[in-house]
Amino acid sequence: MTDRILKAMVSAVIGLMALLYVAHNIANVGAAYDFFVYTTSHAGQEAYPVTLLPVPPSFVIVAAMVLVFALETAAGVLGLYGAWAIYSARHADAAAFAAAKKWSKIAMGCAVLNWWGLFQGIAVAGYQLWQMEFGAGPDHGSWVYGAMAMMSLIYISMREE
3-state class (DSSP) for residue 135: coil
pLDDT in tens, 94-147: 999 999 999 999 999 999 999 999 999 999 999 999 898 888 899 999 999 999
pLDDT of residue 160: 84
Residue from 22, 16, 39, 27 nearest 148 by CA: 16
Burial class (CB in 10 A: 0-12, 13-18, 19+), 1: exposed
Query: In 3D, which of 18, 14, 60 has the Cα closest to residue 37?
Result: 60
CB 144 within 8 A of CB 93: no
Least Cα distance to 13 among 108, 110, 121, 139 occurs for: 108
Predicted model pTM: 0.94
